[in-house]
A and B are shown apart, each in its own frame.
Chain A
Amino acid sequence: MTTAELQERYANELKGFGASLPDDLAAGLAGLESTLDESQLDRWAKGGVDLANHSLRSWEAAAEYYRASPQVAAKLSFEELEHWLSLATGLATESSLMAAAFLKATPDALDQIETTDLDAWSQQGGRLCRGNWKSIALAGLYFQHSPRLLDSLSLASVGRLVDIIDQLTERSYELANSVLEGAGDIFENLAPEDREPFLAFARAVTRASWADTRLYFERGPKLLEGVAEEERANFLDLASRVTMDVGRQGFPLFADAAQSLTQVDTEDHGELLAFATSIAPGSSTASMEYLKSAPFVRSRLTPEQMGRWAAAGVEVLNQGNAEGAEAYFRLESTRAEEMLRALSARVELPAVSQMLRLYAKALSGEQVAVLSSEELVDRNIGWMSESSATTEGTTIYLPPFVSSFPEQDSNFQVYKVFTTHQTGRLEFGSFAYQWNSDGPYTSTTVVDREEQRAVALAERTDEEIAAAEAAEAAAATESVTTTEMQRFFNLFGDRLLISGLFTIVEDTRVDAFVSREYGGIRAWLARLQSLEADRRPEVRAMGLRQAFVENLLRASLGRPDTIRWPETLQDTLAKALAALKVVEQTGASVQDSAEVSASLYDIAMRIPNIPQDAVDAEWLPPDEEMISIAPDMPGGGEGGDAPMPSGEEIGFENPEQPEFRGDFKPELVQLLMKLKDQQAGQQDGTASPLTKEQLMELLENSVEITISEWAEGDLASSLGMFLDNLEKDAATPASEKSNEGEGETGDDPGGGDGADDEELKVEVDWFYYDEWDFRASDYRPRWCRVGERPGEEGDTEYYEDILRKHHGLVMETRKQFELMRPESFKKMRRLEDGHEIDLDEAIAFHVDKKAGVGPLARVYSRRNKIERDVAVAFLLDMSASTDEEIEKQRQKYEEEEEDFQGDPSKYFQWLAQRRAKQAIEPPKRIIDLEKESTVLVVEALEAIGDAYGIYGFSGYGRDNVEFHVIKDLDEEFNDRVRKRIDKIDPVRSTRMGPAIRHAIHKLDEYDAKVKILIMVSDGRPQDHGYGRDRTEKEYAVHDTKQALNEAKRIGVTPFLITVDKEGHDYLKQMCDDIGYEVVDNIESLPRRLPTLYRHLAAD
């Protein structure tokens, strides 16, 4: 039978189906003619017809069959071809659509797989089909995309991907579709060796959390890009293992770790991952936490140090404390932080600021504060550099950390040199410039200069004046100036130049003073100077005048050997160097600095700022003679100088300040001081105020603030804002600034010197405390932030009310307490030595002696003074639960007691009575009883004279533990305290640990022999994040217990009182050997508390 016949014959049979089917058949026949013999062709064509007849829409599959066959047949034998059809028919049984997709995709798929794999391939698709239309579409999609997938994955791998997709279908077909669609791109872009691991991790993620699968497929490849190429597979392997272990936390950990790795040099990834993998068997989480912390740790430690740091974590792990190791690597453990600090060469300012502050105070004798430079920049009063040291007259600002050297000690020495230089500016009077006053080595020329300048300005022609800056001219001629420094700078046409010169000269003077006065620091100062000198920019790239200034700076760093200067102009430089040396002499003052700067200015102004190649001379280092030149001021006769070269001038810039000297802004500092004086003066009515115009003028002219620093926009308004900042700053005393800083410092929170200014501010003082993580058996460093604030004030009436209501009880407790007051002297008898002879004892002794019994001669007596020295802190639970009415609470426990024997009328009677009672007297809440008890205790304690503090605590979360001061230990009992007691109100949660720690801190600061902490609460400790999850109680209980132990350790006796009837179970655990009491009948609390106190404070 010919092909034409075949075509005709089967076309007929195909008529009932889609119109194109006969054409497809014809095309197929044409394509196959050469490969198949007649009978085969017949069978082939018939197969298609059978398929078309197979089910309702299977003709579509038949069409694909005919279309694909020519290509397929090129790769398959006829038997295989028939088998292929049978596979399709099999699929068509489930869905003809799927069969069609299968047939259509086959030619492309055969490019990737062996003919023998056709079965497996079709099965994989078939597996996805579950009979519903969504699954059919998915299976179709599979066949459509699989050739592409097979391009990058083996068939078996694709099978695993199908598994994943299959799993996803249980949740969402949409998700399954999108993953399948995206997979082709993803795997194609991955390196071949990463594909399998990527898939393996995908499986793990899917198993752990189907929702994360989408995230993984969306973000995974991007995340991986940050990881070193050759390490991606390892990372994915690790991630899979971790995820299999930790479940739904797996992907987030992976994502965070990947993010962290991008911040680390890719060269180090291998090492980091190898270590992480090595600890994964012990704790999967720890391995990922390690990677997460890596950038932070790496920024502080060398690889070798980091190894040692990690080894310490492994030790924790090896002790079987997986939670501890996790906390360690998460950097939420004191051990980890201490280790880091010990290993790190980097010195952080908070760790040393307190000490440097005392150091600076010792040197200067001033109330200086030490803060981070960042804070000065934030203050926006003209200082811009966050990383250099400086001072504004009352505070020394230092860079937030120093890591210039590989050893910790050296970095600390750098801090010390910074501090010493800045302190030197205060100690040696850098800001004390006075107009028209002679220095020990120079006599001032400012008055002459001022006259000359006035004349010079007046002589200028109109155009010249117009050309000159109007403001500058005005400032110089009117000579109405705000500060003496400003007046001095006004003498010079080029303020930038004089400011740069004055900085160099003054720093030279301060450095000279420092190395003369502080021999111990000389070596390090010289070392830093030398380092800076070697780091200077190339002098020949500068204009001539700038090179001159730069050379002066080098000389001032004690390294004249680094100077380079044209041979022909050596004399000029020699003169300048001699002048600079004037201020290095013992006793030189800032007046000398000003005068030397002025004469250097004169020299510099004669030097044109022309490019280096315009100077026709060789640039040489100075000779011996010049280096050892004697200090001398340049004389008046300057005629002998070498003629200056001339040429086109270029822009002038002052040389950059050496790091250890930092910014120097004497004009601004004098202004700040003046503003300060003015603010102080305003109070007693002296000192004429500065006008806004004067201030603006100073700021506009000063080169200490560069124009580019202004916020964009109009100059006047930014100047105004700037001025506001300055004025605000002047109003803040240094001690307060330092307080802010102090709160931030490490282990010893507070400093507690806020007592005297408490009257003024209602601000919150922040303190940081560690929290005990019992799982890691380690502290979480600086975990909780406690905000101490004075309690709100209400009315004194409440207090008086309580007193009236409990008049009897008050009198009773008072009396009891008064009995506790000790007699001031106690007679001690039977002593071997004393003031008086006790007659009775003497006679007895005498008799005994005669009788030969021979006892010891204890016949003296003396009177000893006894002092009562007790301090107690009451800590009241102000959590929301104390808002609960007592009646209700009682109901909880006594529900059964009220038995109305099913008689509703009795019940209503009872209810009516209760309501009536409540109408007269609102129901009492737990907090009310706490308050009443407080009143009673206060009354009693006032009688006995013990020092006591009353505090309330509450808060929400670890960042905001509220600590309300009702009465501080050293505060007098007064109306304010009475008013505060009125305002004790329920707030939020109960994070006991930090509150206890803060109370301990207060007791610790207080000087007393016996210290007691009494905490009154209504239930177990709980707070947001106080435990692994909402329901966990262990963590909070352990932390509280630890806090109580800390109390005991420093000699405070803690005692707990709770009104929670269920208190016994957790209190037993929490208190161990610490005293506690569950007050059964809540209403007895006011009576009970004083009694308890009496027992506690008895001895």
Chain B
Amino acid sequence: MTTADQIKEQANFQQLAVEDFRITEEPYYLPIADEVELFLSAYEQKVPVLLKGPTGVGKTRFIEYMSWRLHQHLGEPSQEGVPLITVACHEDLTASDLVGRYLLEGDDTRWIDGPVSRAIKVGAICYLDEVVEARKDTTVLIHPLTDYRRLLPVEKRGELLEAADGFLLVMSYNPGYQSALKDLKHSTRQRFIAIEFGYPDRDQEAAIIENESEVDHEIAMDLAKLAEKVRNLKEHGLGEGVSTRLLVYAGKLIHQGIAPRRACQVAVVWALTDDLEVQRSIEEVVTSIFEE
């Protein structure tokens, strides 16, 4: 037994190759508009998709849901969804991080495929999260993958990879807080169809909060109301409105028995901003809405 196997035996966790990962249970997702239909059509037609929207509105949840949903749509017999390979982009992300690289192993070198290469090979959805964070020279690399060619040149090995059938490139992008420096290149963004994600309306948001955090309806409505109020402050001391995710966190804390005011303080107020004045203002909104 290898050490890795031993660890696996003792601890309660799973170790998977990225391409083996499947969403097996239906993720909770409340469609806001026609985004599901749009995505299904795009997948069918192999059109790359760009998900736009502020943080925490459910972009990632959406792609998970779609990956689960797609196998039903494609009529595959297996209960498992289409593989989903997620890459969180950051400013040091380079081409070799995506495509692959040589590693030294003993006296030899060994080639390791990057996540994009793997997705291409198995026909997975490749999800580049927060793509603007990546260096521009890196994003250019995916260009040939996104048009009719669906090819990935692997320079170091002198190879071309042609994407398997199920492969689809999806990126997410938050237009809100990026400075002009961190905008997407036009040559990149014009290779995708864009689906916009906004904040859900009060009732929808309350439904999401209720479902995710299991608080009662009234609290969920109040949290959604709070969100609406706080979002009024966007661009006015706040870089971005409060995300649904934070509201769900607040709801979970409340569900665990934390007083609503306190839960909102830690999950909303302090999480949102460091500006004392703005903190104070939001706290006043919180105390206006919640009684304790």
With beta carbons under 8 angstroms apart, the residue of A359, A522, A842 that contacts B284 is A359
B41 within 8 A of A: no
Q: 24 A-B contacts, Cβ less than 8 Å apart?
A: A355-B280, A356-B281, A356-B284, A358-B233, A358-B237, A358-B281, A359-B281, A362-B229, A362-B232, A362-B233, A362-B281, A362-B282, A363-B288, A416-B284, A518-B288, A518-B289, A519-B222, A519-B290, A520-B286, A520-B287, A520-B289, A520-B291, A845-B104, A865-B135
A530 within 8 A of B: no
Number of interchain pairs (Cβ within 8 Å): 78
With beta carbons under 8 angstroms apart, the residue of A362, A846, A857 that contacts B107 is A846
- Return chain B residues, CB-CB under 8 Å to A523: 291
Please provide the chain A residues from 384 to 419 with a CB less than 8 Å away from any CB of chain B in the complex: 416
Please provide the chain A residues from 832 to 847 with a CB less than 8 Å away from any CB of chain B in the complex: 835-837, 842, 845-846
- Return chain A residues, CB-CB under 8 Å to B230: 362
Are the C-beta atoms of B291 and A519 separated by less than 8 Å? yes
A992 to chain B, nearest CB (A): 29
- Return chain A residues, CB-CB under 8 Å to B261: 520
Give the CA-CA distance A361 to B232 in the complex, in Å.
7
B102 to chain A, nearest CB (A): 6
Are the C-beta atoms of A363 and B285 separated by less than 8 Å? yes
Give the CA-CA distance A192 to B261 in the complex, in Å.
66
B272 to chain A, nearest CB (A): 12
Please encode chain B, from 191 to 235, with 1 for each CB lying within 8 Å of some chain A CB and 0 for all others: 000000000000000000000000000000010010001101100
- Return chain B residues, CB-CB under 8 Å to A836: 96, 101
B184 within 8 A of A: no
A141 within 8 A of B: no
- Return chain A residues, CB-CB under 8 Å to B233: 358, 361-362
Give the interface centre of A359, A365, A859 by most chain B CB atoms within 10 Å.
A359
Are the C-beta atoms of B229 and A354 separated by less than 8 Å? no
Give the CA-CA distance A865 to B285 in the complex, in Å.
43
Are the C-beta atoms of A517 and B225 separated by less than 8 Å? yes
A862 within 8 A of B: yes
Are the C-beta atoms of A748 and B285 separated by less than 8 Å? no
A338 to chain B, nearest CB (A): 15
B199 to chain A, nearest CB (A): 13
Which 7 pairs between the two chains have the least Cβ-Cβ distance?
A358-B281, A365-B232, A518-B288, A362-B229, A835-B96, A521-B288, A520-B287
B37 within 8 A of A: no
Give the CA-CA distance A519 to B219 in the complex, in Å.
11
A420 within 8 A of B: yes
With beta carbons under 8 angstroms apart, the residue of B97, B232, B281, B282 that contacts A835 is B97
Are the C-beta atoms of A835 and B101 separated by less than 8 Å? yes
Are the C-beta atoms of B229 and A358 separated by less than 8 Å? no
Please encode chain B, from 105 to 139, with 1 for each CB lying within 8 Å of some chain A CB and 0 for all others: 00101000000000000000000000000010000
Q: Contacts A354-B277, A836-B101, A857-B104; is A520 near B288 (CB within 8 Å)?
A: yes
B94 within 8 A of A: yes
A881 within 8 A of B: no
Are the C-beta atoms of A862 and B94 separated by less than 8 Å? yes
B72 to chain A, nearest CB (A): 40
B227 to chain A, nearest CB (A): 11
- Return chain B residues, CB-CB under 8 Å to A845: 104
Closest to B285 in A: A362
- Return chain B residues, CB-CB under 8 Å to A725: none
Give the CA-CA distance A355 to B95 in the complex, in Å.
47
- Return chain B residues, CB-CB under 8 Å to A361: 232-233, 236
A209 within 8 A of B: no
Are the C-beta atoms of B284 and A519 separated by less than 8 Å? no
B141 within 8 A of A: no
- Return chain A residues, CB-CB under 8 Å to B282: 358, 362
Please provide the chain B residues from 259 to 283 with a CB less than 8 Å away from any CB of chain A in the complex: 261, 277-278, 280-282
B210 to chain A, nearest CB (A): 18
**Secondary structure of the A side of the interface?**
helix
B215 to chain A, nearest CB (A): 15
Give the CA-CA distance A862 to B138 in the complex, in Å.
14
- Return chain B residues, CB-CB under 8 Å to A521: 287-288
- Return chain B residues, CB-CB under 8 Å to A355: 277, 280-281, 284
The count of residues in chain B whose C-beta lies closer than 8 Å to any C-beta of chain A is 34
- Return chain B residues, CB-CB under 8 Å to A169: none
- Return chain B residues, CB-CB under 8 Å to A357: 281
Interface on A for B, CB 8 Å cutoff? Answer: 354-359, 361-365, 416, 420, 517-523, 748, 835-837, 842, 845-846, 857, 859, 862-865
- Return chain B residues, CB-CB under 8 Å to A363: 229, 232, 285, 288
A369 to chain B, nearest CB (A): 12
Q: Contacts A362-B282, A519-B291; is A748 near B277 (CB within 8 Å)?
A: yes
- Return chain B residues, CB-CB under 8 Å to A362: 229-230, 232-233, 281-282, 285
A829 to chain B, nearest CB (A): 15
Give the CA-CA distance A836 to B155 in the complex, in Å.
12
A837 to chain B, nearest CB (A): 6
Are the C-beta atoms of A358 and B290 separated by less than 8 Å? no
Closest to A522 in B: B291
Closest to A417 in B: B288
- Return chain B residues, CB-CB under 8 Å to A359: 281, 284-285
- Return chain A residues, CB-CB under 8 Å to B286: 520
- Return chain B residues, CB-CB under 8 Å to A748: 277
B278 to chain A, nearest CB (A): 6
Give the CA-CA distance A519 to B222 in the complex, in Å.
9
Give the CA-CA distance A518 to B287 in the complex, in Å.
8
- Return chain A residues, CB-CB under 8 Å to B109: 837
- Return chain B residues, CB-CB under 8 Å to A835: 94-97, 101
With beta carbons under 8 angstroms apart, the residue of B101, B104, B281, B288 that contacts A859 is B104
- Return chain B residues, CB-CB under 8 Å to A356: 281, 284
Give the interface centre of B109, B232, B286 by most chain A CB atoms within 10 Å.
B232
B117 to chain A, nearest CB (A): 15
- Return chain A residues, CB-CB under 8 Å to B94: 835, 862-863
Give the CA-CA distance A1047 to B288 in the complex, in Å.
39
Are the C-beta atoms of B277 and A358 separated by less than 8 Å? yes
Give the CA-CA distance A445 to B92 in the complex, in Å.
69
Are the C-beta atoms of A364 and B290 separated by less than 8 Å? no
- Return chain B residues, CB-CB under 8 Å to A416: 284, 288
A1087 to chain B, nearest CB (A): 34
B112 to chain A, nearest CB (A): 12
B132 to chain A, nearest CB (A): 15
With beta carbons under 8 angstroms apart, the residue of A358, A837, A864, A865 that contacts B104 is A837
- Return chain B residues, CB-CB under 8 Å to A519: 222, 289-291
Closest to B101 in A: A835
- Return chain A residues, CB-CB under 8 Å to B280: 355
- Return chain B residues, CB-CB under 8 Å to A364: 232
